[in-house]
Amino acid sequence: MRGDSGLRISPVGLRGIVGRGLTATHFLDFAAAFGTFIERGRPVVVGRDPRSSGRMAREGVVSALMACGHEVIDLGVVSTPVVQHALQRLDAAGGIAISASHNAAEWNALRFLGANGTYLSTAESNELLDIYHLRKFRFVEWDSIGTLREDATAIERYIDDLEQVFDFAALRGMRVVVDCCNGTSAPTLRRIVDRFGLDLVLINERVEGDAFAHEPTTSARMVELQLGPLIQPLQARAGFLFDIDSDRVAMADDLGRGVSEEMMLPLLADHLMTHTPGRIAITNLSSSALLEEVAAKHGGRVVRVPVGRQAAMDALAAYRPEQIAVAGEGTGAVMMPQFRFIYDGIASMLAVMTMMRERGQTVREILASYPRFEILKGEIPLESPRVPALLMDLQDDYPDARIDRSDGLRVSWPDRWFHVRVSQTEPILRVICEQRGEAPSALFESLMDKVRSYS
């Protein structure tokens, strides 16, 4: 069973609590596996979030990549989306973002990026993992060792890219409050304020490495707690809260109330599909069915895949970019085709602001125009060996419904659905249940009872 060190080595990469399971050797060896995996001849880009352990991890990553004969370009402390954008500009073969994102300060992780700036596919990730486990790294001889150079312009160039997509001038005068949680969103947003005159009120703006002002969780509860009291006194139109590497964002409305993270994807789908009707929205089996209604309104449709970034990446690769309007999760993480299909909290925030301006409405008013869905979520500790029997049992209970077994069990009817699956990170079973209109309390309770009977 997974211990309390949180160490996890998987196709998604490497993560854990530094000094308690996750060691310097893990960072260096995993970077050496990546250095062995990617082609030589083009540079490899490295960036990190401000965690103090990132200083240590960065040294190991740089050393391993140089030892594999790669030219390394270090962007310094930047967000993961900034690293992803830099990859194409610098014609890089790949990149490594050193960031534990929305985890607590004690955590860190390596995220591996392909040449186009997106995450690796399942096949690529598995190959990388095999190289790591085999530990036969392709270290070059003394006269072919790579070099290191630093690039301090990455944030500015990233903002240039944003400017291609968003009309900053039109967003001037729309006041929003932003909690940067001492992370990498701060320098980028400060620069956007200086460059375009946006009215962003930033809090927790100082970039910190040892500890953060609060847990960097991008949830409705956290954003309401942090920004709720500020929004009305400051007469702001909305509030946004970023995690440490600003790939995720949470949102509060003009009354200071946290907006469910489930709403970010349908909201942005509505916005993007207004401009590009008839396209596909890709999401996982656990996110709100509101997305289907929004897509239908614009003549589009929804493709649902197993939970996890990997499945989303594989689904994206199965379509042409111009077929896709948006991809994302119920966690609030959203990818947009204009932005190379990467999770980017700042781009999501700018898209929401653009949507508010175009419609002349607040997020609260837009959400009020959508049909009401109620979602219930629960989790129960469960021994892995009992899972298959439970899922078979549950499936037999609902012979009238549509069944999807691609990730645990998803059972759906026209007006409601539930999804039962094993967490990828903890030994627990997650139960999610949603219904149009009233909360599906009876269904949810019967599901939880059934799961409990197996635990």
Partner 1 sequence: MPREHLLKIGVSGVRGVVGEFLTPSLTLSFAQAFGTYVGGGRVVVGRDTRTSGPMLQHAVHCGLLAAGCDVVDVGVLPTPTMQIYVEHIRARGGIGLTASHNPPEYNALKLFNAEGQFFNHYERNELLDLYHQRDFAQAQNAAIGHVRRDDGTAKSIHIGRVLAKVDADRIKRRKFKVALDAVNGAGSVMTPEFLTDSLGCRLDAISIDPTKVFPRIAEPRPDTLGDLTALVQKSGADVGFAQDPDADRLAIADETGRVVDNDDVLALAVLRALAVVPGDVVVNLTTSSAIDDIAKTFHRRVYRTPVGEANVVDTMRAVRAAIGGEGSAGGVIFPAVQLCRDSYIAMAFLLDLMAETGQTVSQLVASLPAYTRNSGKVPFTHGRLGGLMQALEEGFPEAEADRSDGLKLIWPDRWLHVRASNTEPLLRLAVEARDGERASALYDTAWKLLTSL
Tokens of 316: 């994206």
Q: How far is the CB of 100 from partner 1 (least distance, A)?
A: 9
Tokens of 173: 């005068």
Q: How far apart (Å, rounded) are the C-alpha atoms in residues 219 and 234?
A: 22
Question: 12, 14, 32, 387: which one contacts partner 1 (CB under 8 A)?
Answer: 32
Q: Beta 200-203 vs 94-98: how paired, if at all?
A: unpaired
Q: How far apart (Å, rounded) are the C-alpha atoms in residues 50 and 48?
A: 6
Q: How far apart (Å, rounded) are the C-alpha atoms in residues 122 and 341?
A: 16
Binding mask 210-249 for partner 1 (x = CB under 8 A): xx--------------------------------------
Q: How far apart (Å, rounded) are the C-alpha atoms in residues 25 and 106?
A: 17
**Residue whose CB is less far from partner 1, 31 or 342:** 31
**Residue whose CB is less far from partner 1, 142 or 399:** 142
**Residue whose CB is less far from partner 1, 24 or 225:** 24
Question: 209, 228, 308, 378: which one contacts partner 1 (CB under 8 A)?
Answer: 209
Binding mask 73-112 for partner 1 (x = CB under 8 A): --------------------------------xxxx----
- Tell me which stretch binds partner 1 (CB under 8 A): 57-65, 172-180, 216-224, 367-375: 57-65
146 counts as binding partner 1 under rule CB under 8 A: yes
Any idea how long the chain is?
A: 455
449 counts as binding partner 1 under rule CB under 8 A: no
**Residue whose CB is less far from partner 1, 98 or 316:** 98
Report in angstroms the alpha-carbon separations of 12 from 112, 119, 123, 207, 309: 8, 9, 11, 26, 8
- Tell me which stretch binds partner 1 (CB under 8 A): 91-99, 136-144, 335-343, 383-391: 136-144
Beta strands in 204-343 (DSSP E): 238-242, 249-252, 258-259, 280-284, 301-305, 324-328, 334-335
Rounded to 5 degrees, φ, ψ at 128 are -60, -45
Q: How far apart (Å, rounded) are the C-alpha atoms in residues 327 and 252?
A: 22
23 counts as binding partner 1 under rule CB under 8 A: yes
180 counts as binding partner 1 under rule CB under 8 A: no
Question: 57, 159, 176, 333: which one contacts partner 1 (CB under 8 A)?
Answer: 57
Name, in order, each residue with C-beta under 8 angstroms of 407's C-beta and a sequence gap of 6 or more. Answer: 284, 285, 305, 306, 307, 311, 419, 421
- Tell me which stretch binds partner 1 (CB under 8 A): 19-27, 83-91, 328-336, 417-425: 19-27
Q: Which long-range contacts (CB under 8 A, 24 or more apart) does 437-442 make?
A: 437/372, 437/373, 437/374, 438/374, 439/374, 439/376, 440/374, 440/376, 440/416, 441/376
Could you tell me which residues are beta bridge partners of residue 335? 327, 343
51 counts as binding partner 1 under rule CB under 8 A: yes
- Tell me which stretch binds partner 1 (CB under 8 A): 16-24, 157-165, 218-226, 376-384: 16-24
DSSP-derived secondary structure letter, 173: T
Name, in order, each residue with C-beta under 8 angstroms of 346's C-beta and a sequence gap of 6 or more. Answer: 79, 81, 162, 185, 188, 189, 242, 246, 249
Name, in order, each residue with C-beta under 8 angstroms of 390's C-beta and a sequence gap of 6 or more. Answer: 382, 420, 429, 450, 451, 454
Question: 143, 194, 322, 396: which one contacts partner 1 (CB under 8 A)?
Answer: 143
Binding mask 349-378 for partner 1 (x = CB under 8 A): ------------------------------
Question: 7, 9, 56, 174: which one contacts partner 1 (CB under 8 A)?
Answer: 56
- Tell me which stretch binds partner 1 (CB under 8 A): 45-53, 111-119, 197-205, 233-241: 45-53
List binders of partner 1 among 272-331 (CB under 8 A).
none
Question: 53, 101, 184, 310: which one contacts partner 1 (CB under 8 A)?
Answer: 53
Question: 19, 197, 229, 277: which one contacts partner 1 (CB under 8 A)?
Answer: 19
Residues that bind partner 1 (CB under 8 A): 17-20, 23-25, 27-29, 32, 51-53, 55-57, 59-60, 62-64, 66-67, 105-108, 137, 139-143, 145-148, 209-211
